[in-house]
Amino acid sequence: MSPDIYRGPLPEDFRILFVDFDGTLKPAGGEVSQADIRALAELGRRGVARVVATGRGLFSFQRDFPPGLELDHLIFSSGLGLCPWGPGGPGPLSHGRGFDDESRDRALAACLEIGRGFYAFEPPPSCHRHLFQDPEGFPPTQGYLDRLRSYADFATPFRMGQDPGPRSEFLITAPVADMPAVRARFEALCPGLSLLCSSSPFGDRSMWLEIFPPGINKGQAAASLSEGLGLSAGQAVALGNDYNDLDLLAWAGLGLVTANGPEDLRRRFHVAPSVDEAPLAWLLGRLADQGTP
């Protein structure tokens, strides 16, 4: 285990855990460890509310939900949607909204001008259904092609001049080296929206630019959920591994980045064991070391 792993205290009144899914709980191409599944169950028995905060949409998370994983709430689509979660799966959607028509049209125009291709998703709970536009003048990233194949049954080609209908998110992919320029170009063309970057979950070393209505991010959703439960940021631990976890990690009383996360995030936040080293089991061990019953 890395010598940089956090050895300090957990919040004295630790009452809610927010954990990312891909790259934090679930290794790329692998499964959530049984040690972490047991740790989540034990945290629940200790009175800690357990929340997965994922960039995946609701459909995608349900499709790959690990048997035996116990949760209390799900934040999905990087904070766009929020729902309770029980033994039968998701409960009623309690948080989620799409673009107003003016913002949607501005975002669409910017995506078209940038020319990298995009996905445009319907509002929750149907955010797996989307329009798509292939890149023009740029080779598609492998992640773009893989995602298109993976969700082919829910994908509709965008036709110029069509009414796009209600939308909740746009997504642009680009090689890692190109993403800073793509993001800066989008911000110049369409300021005022919520932009989140993340590494491609398809392992193709590209970046994703997720474009949401203003104020959408995991941290905002975590704050809303915690307030509804009568809890504060100081009672929260957040565990993530990528840039779309940034707002969540900064909001929580204790923000932890797994050792497999980007170096600049590991410099900014405390470090937890890698996704391959059962980080939730480690967290439970830290509670035991701290003498928490």
Of the options 3.40.50.1000, 3.40.50.261, 2.30.30.110, 3.60.40.10, the CATH number for the domain spanning 16-95+217-290:
3.40.50.1000
The pLDDT of residue 94 is 82
Domain assignments of the chain as residue spans, ordered by start: 16-95+217-290, 101-212
List of E strands, 168-284? 169-175, 194-199, 206-212, 236-240, 254-258, 270-272
pLDDT at 292 exceeding the cut of 60:
no
pLDDT in tens, 125-177: 899 999 999 999 999 999 999 999 999 999 999 999 999 999 999 999 999 99
The pLDDT of residue 104 is 97
Percent of the chain with pLDDT strictly greater than 70: 98
What is the spatial distance between Cα 187 and Cα 114, in angstroms, rounded to a whole number?
A: 11
The pLDDT of residue 291 is 67
The pLDDT of residue 29 is 86
Helix (H) or strand (E) holding 120: strand 118-121
79: left (phi over 0), alpha (psi -120 to 50) or beta: left
pLDDT at 63 exceeding the cut of 80:
yes
pLDDT in tens, 169-188: 999 999 999 999 999 999 99
pLDDT in tens, 111-127: 999 999 999 999 998 99
CATH class as words, domain 101-212: alpha beta
The pLDDT of residue 11 is 94
The pLDDT of residue 55 is 94
Q: Which long-range contacts (CB under 8 A, 24 or more apart) does 108-113 make?
A: 108/164, 108/167, 108/170, 109/189, 109/190, 110/186, 110/189, 110/190, 111/170, 111/172, 111/186, 111/211, 113/189
Record the pTM: 0.94
pLDDT at 97 exceeding the cut of 90:
no
pLDDT in tens, 220-262: 999 999 999 999 999 999 999 999 999 999 999 999 999 999 9
